Structure 1
Amino acid sequence: MPQDLNYLKETPSQTAGPYVHIGLAPGAAGFDIYRQELGWDIAGPNAKGERIRIEGCVIDGMGSPIKDVLLEAWQANADGIYAHPEHEGQVEDGFRGWGRVITDFETGEWGFDTIKPGPVKTPDGKVMAPHISLWIVARGINVGLQTRLYFEDEVEANAVDPVINLIEWERRRQTLIAKKTERDGKAVYRFDVKLQGQDETVFFDI
């Protein structure tokens, strides 16, 4: 006899650690089992656009960097087009638009090289500012956290972005903005993710 759904209990959740790197980024955990680590090459050698670097830390509620974080990044190419079967032939050969990185076990720093994405059109014709979506998991996080990284130097595009404008307070909006610096002639964007406390990063429920 089928069970009454009103009496079914919620399935227990479980955090991603402590073995998340062995399964999702084994090379970093000392296991040489893949010819190439899955997800490290985001843009590929043929992608057009500005080559940039993204760097940051994931910081806990006490202000300390978390050192066992895994982040997945998803972005469009310089023309604002995602690598998807529906867009076959519209993105450069080798452009994946998706990557996976982990934090340094000693410092908690993470980073990846890619190209700066272009504005993306929504299905209803609105235009989103250039951004990179990030998904974050770590020991102690029961449900993966979803956020976005926007670029400090895209002031006009950010001002009309339909997602940023869902956030009421300007101070909260600023938690999604990566700060630009330069190193060896290359743009470097700093994006620290704060899990709790003052200036906690905005996370999206999707």
Structure 2
Amino acid sequence: MTQLLPTPSQTVGPYLSIGLPWPDGPYVVPEGTPGAFWIRGVVRDGNGDPVPDAMIETWQADSDGGFRHPDDPRGAASGEFRGFGRCPTDQDGTYGILTVLPGPVPGQDGATQARHIDVSVFARGLLNRVVTRIYFADQDNSGDAVLASVPEERRETLIATKTADGYRFDVRLQGDGETVFFRV
């Protein structure tokens, strides 16, 4: 009898840049949408080098705290708001997502979560995606239970800083200044 062996795991491969991005993927909202801004950043590896073949995916509520999903009890977001964005990194590891500031959403025990965007990062060397959140430096983040669960000295890795056309949010996959990632 032949013994069957498990298939070896593989890291995220080049198919990211071949089949997953699409031309309007970085646009959670169309250009010209009132209140729209860019979130831009660089994905870096453990050595601090840019990762030219990573992909950033975002999922968020609209400005009223509603999701574009039929199961959202608060009602689906309206208009051209998609709620989902996907952007591959360039050769210098940069990405950009055009979006709007998400509204607060309910958390556990009736608490309200701070305005945030959920982020998945796919990159070479990863067996699975890593998941993090973007919070905004100029918003009130004090009551957010998820952010409060992160050691204070590491919270800054989850905070996007204001720029001329939006916010900057860099991702460090490991090493010094590693972005906080969550188990989901």
Distance 1:142 1:94, change over 3 A: same
Higher normalized helix content (fraction of residues): 1
How far 1:18 moved relative to its partner? 2.2
How far 1:15 moved relative to its partner? 1.3
Question: Partner of 2:183 in structure 1?
Answer: 205
**How many residue pairs align between the two structures?**
181
What is the SS of the residue equivalent to 1:112? strand
Distance in structure 2 (CA, Å) of the matches to 1:78 and 1:151 = 14
Structure number with greater Rg is 1
Question: Partner of 1:4 in structure 2?
Answer: none
Distance in structure 2 (CA, Å) of the matches to 1:100 and 1:142 = 19
How far 1:23 moved relative to its partner? 1.7
Q: Deviations over 1:88-118 (max 9, x none)?
A: 854122221001101112x111111111111
Q: Contact 1:46 / 1:95 at 8 angstroms: preserved in 2?
A: no
How far 1:46 moved relative to its partner? 9.2
Range 194-203 or range 39-48, more displaced: 39-48
Mind listing any 5+ residue stretches in structure 1 that lack a counterpart? Answer: 1-7, 28-36
- Is 1:144 equivalent to 2:129 in the alignment? yes
TM-score relative to the length of structure 1? 0.79
Question: Partner of 1:69 in structure 2?
Answer: 54
TM-score relative to the length of structure 2? 0.88
Question: Partner of 2:155 in structure 1?
Answer: 173
Matches within 5 A, 1:103-142: 103-105=89-91, 107-122=92-107, 124-142=109-127
Distance in structure 2 (CA, Å) of the matches to 1:16 and 1:39 = 19
Q: Contact 2:53 / 2:88 at 8 angstroms: preserved in 1?
A: yes
Mind listing any 5+ residue stretches in structure 2 that lack a counterpart? Answer: none
- Is 1:164 equivalent to 2:147 in the alignment? yes
Q: Contact 1:47 / 1:95 at 8 angstroms: preserved in 2?
A: no
